[in-house]
Amino acid sequence: MSRYAKMFARLEEEGSGAFVPFVMIGDPSLGMSEAIIEALIEGGADALELGVPFSDPVADGPTIQGSHLRALAGGAGLAACLEVVEHVRERHPELPIGVLVYGNVPFAVGVEDFYAACADAGIDSVLLPDVPIREGSDFSCAARAAGIDPVYIAPPSASDETLDAVASASRGYVYAVSRAGVTGTESAASTVGLARSVRRLGQEAAAPVMLGFGISTPEHVRAAINAGAAGAICGSAVVKIVEEHSGALVSAGTGDEDEVERFESARRDLVAFVSRMKAATRR
């Protein structure tokens, strides 16, 4: 069984859904990424979705766009991001780890080489937010050849044909978008129509359905579970916590007593937020 399959089986036995936080690797610095990720795991994350920064993140709203820019400014290229993942994988051999990366990155590296590098780092799944299912065949083939689960987005109000194609091609999980637009907490998640989408996706899906976009409160998580989703993915609300503490996080390595305390404040905020969101997944 894959790590995702084991996770979903365990959660089903526990009567719980999955909570998956997103954070950008390298935000606010490569040096702090691992500590931030460890805080998310400490808080109870069932899996991780980790961003690889890109200069033109068209699917993201202002909060996550800012995290792309901060990470790029700190030198977080693909190789450095994969090194962070390798370290996390060494410490957490059973934790499902997915990455979100824009399509230009594998194009630049070479699609086969990109997925092979992801597999070597211990990555389980890759989501390309700017690659629609109708253009995903070459990516899916390269991913599966490397042992990586390709994940596709099921848009809101998509046709049955599109939902069926997304469900059929996705492995690990299916990413159902809760509302139209870009990522962000400015517009809340909506479960209107989600139950229909989940039912339709379930007819063809090789993997459970997760809800993302606009998930920022325990109530959003609970609504996603009640609508039939296997769990929820939360990005912008997590990134906002990192952003609020970014100054202290960047300078935490100096050893200054005040800076260390501010890092501990960031860690506590991340752990507490994930703990509250995870608690809302329990059926």
Catalytic residues: 49, 60
Q: How many whole angstroms separate alpha carbon 91 and alpha carbon 95? A: 9
Q: How many residues does the chain have?
A: 283
Q: Under a CB-based contact definition with an 8 Å cutoff, are residues 238 and 41 in contact?
A: no
Q: Kindly provide the b/e burial profile for residues 118-132, where b requires at least 16 CB atoms within 10 angstroms of the residue's own CB.
A: bbebbbbbbbbbebe
Instruction: Give counts: helices (H), strands (E), the chain.
Output: 13, 9
Structure tokens at 105: 């990155």
* Phi, psi at 234, each rounded to 5°: -125, 120
In angstroms, the Cα distances linking 72 to 30, 35, 39, 45 are: 10, 18, 22, 25
Q: Strand, coil or helix: what is 191?
A: coil
